[in-house]
Amino acid sequence: MAPQHGPRRARIAFSDSAAKQLENLTTEAEIHALDRALVVLSFDPEVGEPIPGDAAGPQLRRFTDEVEQVRVLFFVTALRTVVISGPVLA
């Protein structure tokens, strides 16, 4: 019998501005905090709260991890790719 697979995880991509912010992460704690938030987003791309805005584009969302003190701004594409617009470490 073939093993059962869980739901497909979302792919994570970074906008250019988010990629530049990643260059500023220097400590292992900062990298761990962001990694933890990205794992949550890959399993549940609809987590977080919608940010009110223009309905012309994809819905921008905000996920806040209170434990790791990180906030991630993102949107989800039609193909379940989570595009990170800006990670912010508190």
Is the separation of the CB atoms in 58 and 45 below 8 Å? no
Give residues with Cβ within 8 angstroms of 75, minimum separation 6. Answer: 57, 58, 59, 60, 61, 82, 83, 85
- CA gap 18, 67 in Å, rounded: 21
pTM value is: 0.81
3-state class percentages of the chain: helix first, strand second, coil last, to nearest 5? 25, 30, 45
Q: What is the pLDDT of residue 49?
A: 92
Q: What is the pLDDT along the chain (90 residues), one digit of tens a residue?
A: 566 666 788 999 999 999 998 888 889 998 999 999 999 999 999 898 998 877 777 789 999 988 888 999 999 998 889 998 887 765
Q: What is the pLDDT of residue 39?
A: 93
Q: What is the pLDDT of residue 6?
A: 64
Which CATH class name applies to 11-89? alpha beta
What are the residue boundaries of the structural domains of the chain, listed by start?
Answer: 11-89
Q: Are strands 11-14 and 81-89 parallel, antiparallel or unpaired?
A: parallel
